[in-house]
Structure 1
């Protein structure tokens, strides 16, 4: 029985493990893993990627660049994109670049099997023991699991923002760190002084998990945002507009994280820092809870516009243990 060379490319070891677990047991494949686009191209050139399951948002070389490189080099590979970037424009672009199908994260075994069958890729059934596919079976860290959870959430939020503003949102790779309160204070102070910013803060809590979402807009970009939102009335102030946009972005991120970890978050009223409170006050109020903070940094940018949203999700120290427990099933 011949084995189909299958390449799984994703910068998250958690995501790669999920894909390997979802492979049909009766599909005879030999698996190669890649953590970025450069590794993927090297493997495909060696003949290790007849079928490629490809992520989009990766450092160094992303999925779009891989698809473009495959076309430029004339390399034959059957590519299925598996991504958290579910913008309609993202799907259109990858199909135009030669991908055969698009699966949104998170997906399940049935989604993958159905797609492989429809494309005529799932052929020559024969049982392949799972141990041959997961020989390394790496232990996945909390950091990687949580980053992939956030990755799905920011993709959902980007799709909503893309519809509201009528633009293509360029997704970042989220930055996840555990910061001491002093480091957090320094980071927020630097952010607040480097440029004129309008920062909107919104607390959230649920099932023993609590924190603050902090969304920062550069004041020089507010007029461009208003134009994209097609503001019709002079009575609709800049702050009202930013609060509405914050509600969409923060709400979508938090609801997606909550759904994935099976909790419900209650969200407080948004506060405009500098008007209702300062960053210093935010730190002082939460100093006891934020001895160590799980900090998620996300920087969205809008294609064709000099506009960037910087979102910080700050989880209290007590939340880390609860989140670890909630995500434990994914680390095994």
Structure 2
């Protein structure tokens, strides 16, 4: 067997890097991990990356900026982007910046093989005599014998990667609806107290210029609520993007906010459900005009800790952001943790 080919896997998620490494385990490679773009560039300069697998959504230096620096500095590497952002415009942009191909998350080994074969790379990669096992005992945190809260904290990285993929699917639908490009953030994963949530909701609902949509959802062993927050100014700009004719009345604002909420919440839950092999059922979305005393998420009869996934979708070139908050009750955590731990 010949000398292993140097490969860099660049992703801010350790879980995503391990998933990518497992997908590559059949080939004789010398793999270097990079947790952000600057690390990847340093590794390329050090000769550790004839081939680079690059995420787009990262702190400090995102994938687009890494591609720009590779091109401007004439760094010698071949790049395949691996991302949950499936907007067609994202595919176009990375190819214009020099990427060979775009593979969507979660990684599919067959798609990976097709991509490598299409660019004549598969022939360069030598198979290992004995491939690595499909899983490693240390890849998944041990979650038995501890509280569901502790388990959730241990699995934060898993929830981050789940949210990344689901977020990308929702952004793709929003981009199609508005015929624009949606800038994706890094999702914020937190465990919050129900009293903190109640205060945040009170503040949001009390602002006359803020429209807040609430939608409940359930799946076997899981329940929660989704909240979408959009200001009047942003709603008016969205109406313009959708070529609305006529005055932007209060009713128009409500209908538009509900439409955006349906797209983002439905697509996110669908993307999350596909990864966890779950089917979510959703209630009808409602515009919150006051904070109900019987809210599922803030009722004092409910558990105190809530898993929060916070995402702010931004429309490129416009001062528009749609803030989406996914909230899971504490009694949903054992089921969620069990499913997430198998990623």
CA distance in 1, matches of 2:333, 2:57: 25
Deviation at 1:279, TM superposition (A): 6.9
CA distance in 1, matches of 2:165, 2:157: 13
Q: Which residue matches 2:51?
A: 51
Deviation at 1:288, TM superposition (A): 2.8
Unaligned ranges ≥5, structure 2: 142-153
Q: Which residue matches 2:64?
A: 64
Distance 1:99 1:228, change over 3 A: same
Q: Which residue matches 2:322?
A: 309
Correspondent of 1:201 among 214, 228, 236: 214
CA distance in 1, matches of 2:186, 2:120: 33
Residues 230-269 of structure 1: per-residue CA shift (max 9 Å, x gap): 1246697221111111111110001111121111111111
Q: Which residue matches 1:262?
A: 277
CA distance in 2, matches of 1:220, 1:189: 20
CA distance in 2, matches of 1:156, 1:148: 13
Q: Which residue matches 1:19?
A: 20
Deviation at 1:113, TM superposition (A): 1.3
TM-align CA RMSD? 2.3
CA distance in 1, matches of 2:46, 2:135: 21
Q: Which residue matches 1:237?
A: 252
* Worse-superposed segment, 159-168 or 287-296: 287-296
CA distance in 1, matches of 2:62, 2:206: 32
Unaligned ranges ≥5, structure 1: none
Distance 1:280 1:307, change over 3 A: farther
Question: Is residue 158 of structure 2 the alignment partner of residue 145 of structure 1?
Answer: yes
CA distance in 2, matches of 1:157, 1:325: 24
Residues 295-328 of structure 1: per-residue CA shift (max 9 Å, x gap): 0100010001110000000000011111011122
Residues 172-213 of structure 1: per-residue CA shift (max 9 Å, x gap): 110001112223234444555678310000000110100000
Question: Is residue 64 of structure 2 the alignment partner of residue 82 of structure 1?
Answer: no
Per the normalisation by structure 2, the TM-score is 0.89
Question: Is residue 309 of structure 2 the alignment partner of residue 296 of structure 1?
Answer: yes
Deviation at 1:125, TM superposition (A): 2.1
The number of aligned residues is 327
Q: Which residue matches 1:173?
A: 186
Q: Which residue matches 2:111?
A: 111
Q: Does the 8 Å contact 2:296/2:302 carry over to 1?
A: no
> What SS does the aligned partner of 1:60 have?
coil
